[in-house]
Structure 1
Amino acid sequence: MALTIGMLGRATHTKVETIRYYERIGLLSAPGRSGGNYRSYGEAELGRLSFIRRARQLGFSLDQVRALLELSDDRGRDCATVDALARGHLAEVERKIADLAALQRELAAMVDSCHGGTVGSCRIIEALGPTRSD
């Protein structure tokens, strides 16, 4: 099966520019070329790009994706490194969720403190701090 870059993009829901970028930074190897000098991709590239896309959807950084790809290329290796990488990423996600929950509580308190009136007496504006120097 030979896929053009457009076909590969559609199959993985990835923009052509993103595929080219992944090639430039080494996440995808340079593809073979067709007789008309078009990029030509196969099952291996489709699988690798699908792996990259899923990892990115889960919020792994490009460096983490690179590490995961290198680890996945060594099928006989112990998966402790993969586990440690995923656990570290999970901890970061949990930290971000906690930060967002705190932000939500603070914003909810600000909104709940608003009882109408004029901007000059607005509790939300007041909570944000001074807006002008008097």
Structure 2
Amino acid sequence: MKIGELARLAGTNVETIRYYERDGLLPVPARSEGNYRIYGETHAQRLFFIRRCRGLDMTLDEIRVLLHFKESPQENCADVNRLLDRHIGHVTQRMQELQELERQLKDLRERCGESRDAAHCGILDGLSQAIVPSGKTASHVLGSHGHAANSGLVKGTQDKQGR
């Protein structure tokens, strides 16, 4: 199948597939005489695996580790368990951060008074304050993970991208 068909089948776009190829997550496909990429069932299955992992908010480096173990079924999967445990910890931490973000937004929303002009807007005034009540810098764009995905689990994998 051609790249467009694979993209439709997997529910992704062509550029994502090309990116995964360049990044080594998908094997380079064979080419037709017209130089079109020709994908097979192996590519589709691997792309489905990657998409499922991404849907679980796993980083590309975490996916590399999982693919390593998927391709090496004789290896002990204790490192897979550790990777998933760390990822669960990340999700738990992220949920706490999002709850704090929600609290801060609700606090800001409660500052809204009866004033209809921006000069007396409690929300804008609250956003102008330099200190966040918890003492932390709040951001909903903290990045996906605060840790290196491979952490030495698989030699030869490199931390190329945080997400």
TM-score band by shorter chain is: 0.7 to 0.9
- Cα distance in 2 for partners of 1:129, 1:16 equals 43
Question: Amino acid of the residue matched to residue 70 of structure 1?
Answer: H
Question: Amino acid of the residue matched to residue 61 of structure 2?
Answer: D
Question: Amino acid of the residue matched to residue 30 of structure 1?
Answer: V
- Cα distance in 2 for partners of 1:22, 1:66 equals 11
- Cα distance in 2 for partners of 1:22, 1:52 equals 9
Higher mean C-alpha deviation, range 29-38 or range 63-72: 29-38
Instruction: State the identity %.
Output: 42
- Cα distance in 1 for partners of 2:17, 2:110 equals 46
Structure 2 partner of 1:72: 70
**1:34 to 2:13 alignment:** no
User: Which structure ranks higher in relative contact order (CA pairs < 8 Å, sequence separation ≥ 6)?
Assistant: 2
Structure 1 partner of 2:57: 59
Structure 2 partner of 1:92: 90
- Cα distance in 1 for partners of 2:7, 2:124 equals 46
Deviation, structure 1 residue 59: 0.7
- Cα distance in 2 for partners of 1:119, 1:16 equals 45
Deviation, structure 1 residue 87: 1.2
Task: Give per-residue Cα distances to partners, 1:44-75, cap 9 Å, x unaligned.
Answer: 11100110111111111111111111111111
Quick one: which of 76, 80, 83 aligns to 2:81? 83
Q: TM-score, normalised by structure 2?
A: 0.73
Q: Which stretches of structure 1, 4 residues or longer, exceed 6 Å deviation after superposition?
A: none
Asked which structure has the greater CA Rg, the reply is 1
Flag the structure with higher helix content.
Answer: 1
RMSD of aligned residue pairs (Cα, Å): 1.6
- Cα distance in 1 for partners of 2:17, 2:119 equals 52
Structure 1 unpaired stretches of 5+: none
**1:49 to 2:47 alignment:** yes
Structure 2 unpaired stretches of 5+: 130-163
| Aligned 8 A contact 2:111 2:126 in 1 | no
Structure 2 partner of 1:123: 122
Structure 1 residues 129 and 37 mapped into 2: Cα distance closer, same or farther (>3 Å)? closer
Higher mean C-alpha deviation, range 49-58 or range 119-128: 119-128
Size of the alignment, in residue pairs?
129
